[in-house]
Amino acid sequence: MAQSSRPPSVLDSLGEEIIKIVTPVSICMFLVVILVSVLDSSSSSSSTSAASMATIAYSENDSDSSWDKFIGAVWNSLAFVAIVTVVTFVLVLLFYLRCTRFLKFYMGFSAFIVLGFLGGEIALFLIQDFSIPVDCITFFVVLFNFAVVGVLAVFVSKMAIFVTQGYLVVIGMLVAYWFTMLPEWTTWVLLVAMALYDLAAVLLPVGPLRLLVELAISRDEDIPALVYEARPVTHRDSGHEGRVVQRRVWRERPNSAHDPAEVPKLNSTVNPALHGNSTNDSMSNTNAASIANENVTNTVAVQETLSQCLEGESELSAPLIDHRINVSPQGHEDAVPSENLALEGIGLGSSGAIKLGLGDFIFYSVLVGRAAMYDFMTVYACYLAIIAGLGITLMLLALYQKALPALPVSILLGVLFYILTRLFLEIFVVQLASNLLMF
């Protein structure tokens, strides 16, 4: 193909930026769909749903009517959104008080919990379902390695980009799989509620996410949260070789006289004060639960998974903080080729990278995973809807050039397409297929 003879068009650079963010989102969704379809079909306990913080208001059982389930799901979602709001405000407060070391430490810790415990549980599910003859020594060594290197990837600012991105996708996948274990109505109403919450939190002037973003801009720091950052696109004619390209995405620091103790990059999570106890609780309650086994009482169940969920939740809430896409303005002060200056009008600077919060990954994957629990037809429809929503959000981002919520458009389109597919498309496709007409 013709190479450097023609200047890079808008489509090249813009397309590459979009691909770099769509690829990991798609990979995460794909992995969750695979996990859901592999573990769901072979497990017999699909009727028992995980009692957790998201179901404290109401736990669904099959005998309720649809209206009851819907109302219960609304109560659950409201409770969950309330908890997330409180936790986000706590994070804003901590960030305002400059407790970045604490936040960073806590982020590393909760990454360890997610990778170690959640990852271990899911690995155990797989081992049990397929009867893989792994012994405990190998299993624990491998799990320990995986979790510790994951924590390092998230903690250490200058780790290999591929490793960091890979681990963020894995963390998103694990938390998303855990969320798909919620009861069905709760999941769907929760998704819509989180989309609306995201819209409010980022766009309203009093919203916690907006406060966080403005604090970060005013201090010229990165937001401490689990954020997936796409690799910056370096164009052939921009003179970036020969100097270390800064990966800071908010803006270029004009002088390096800033406080070197500032965390150069992101990545810490919120710690609700409850978490400190919760690991102890989960240990003791695991023993209690093993004794009580399937007849475990509601309180013990809730407590154990409450503690487990708190760990997931505290990790989750931080990515929720940042689940919007932001774009860096053109970061470098040195002379930029004119083609790149033209690109600035669209808002995707050539050395800027698109950032997408991990909460977005998680909720997209939850939607697709839940769609996978019905049929693959809904998976395709929801996947296309989410990618379209992501594209629309990126276009709006280029238009408005400020932090935008990435959840609302995609989630609402996804839910709409799921409903439409189940109501209309399924009948159509099944009729065609059974009459051997198409597909």
Partner 1 sequence: MEALRSPADNPTPNRDPNPNSNSIAPSSPVWPTIDGPLGLSEEDSVGYARRFYQFGFALLPWLWAVNCFYFWPVLSHKRSFPQIRRYVIRSAIGFSVFSAVLCAWALTFAIGGERLFGSVWNQLVMYNLADKWGLTGWD
Contacts with partner 1 by CB under 8 A lie at: 1, 11-13, 15-16, 19, 48-51, 120-121, 124-125, 127-128, 131-139, 141, 144-146, 148-149, 152, 158-163, 181, 231-232, 234, 240-245, 247, 286-287, 289-290, 293, 296, 301, 304-305, 308
199 in Cβ contact with 408 (< 8 Å): yes
Q: How far is the CB of 148 from partner 1 (least distance, A)?
A: 6
Q: How far is the CB of 432 from partner 1 (least distance, A)?
A: 33
Q: Concatenated DSSP letters for 339-391?
A: HHHHHHTTT--TT---EEEHHHHHHHHHHHHHHHTT-HHHHHHHHHHHHHHHH
Q: How far is the CB of 69 from partner 1 (least distance, A)?
A: 19
* CA–CA distances in Å: residue 361 to residues 87, 261, 269, 368: 19, 30, 16, 11
In angstroms, the CA 402 to CA 170 distance is 28
Q: How far is the CB of 217 from partner 1 (least distance, A)?
A: 23
In angstroms, the CA 267 to CA 222 distance is 9
The residue (of 141 and 419) whose beta carbon lies closer to partner 1 is 141
Radius of gyration of the chain (CA): 22
The residue (of 121 and 344) whose beta carbon lies closer to partner 1 is 121
CA 370, 371, 372, 378: dihedral to nearest 10 degrees?
180
The residue (of 118 and 407) whose beta carbon lies closer to partner 1 is 118
The residue (of 198 and 222) whose beta carbon lies closer to partner 1 is 222
Q: How far is the CB of 419 from partner 1 (least distance, A)?
A: 28
40 in Cβ contact with 379 (< 8 Å): no
256 C-beta neighbours (distance < 10 Å), count: 6
CB within 8 Å of 80: residues ≥ 6 apart:
53, 54, 190, 193, 194
The residue (of 90 and 263) whose beta carbon lies closer to partner 1 is 263
Could you say which of 198, 259, 281, 334 is catalytic? Answer: 198
The residue (of 97 and 136) whose beta carbon lies closer to partner 1 is 136
Residue 31 in tokens: 């992995």
190 in Cβ contact with 176 (< 8 Å): no
Q: How far is the CB of 311 from partner 1 (least distance, A)?
A: 13
- Told to judge if 198 belongs to the known catalytic residues of this protein, a careful annotator would answer yes
Which residues does the annotation mark as catalytic? 198, 360
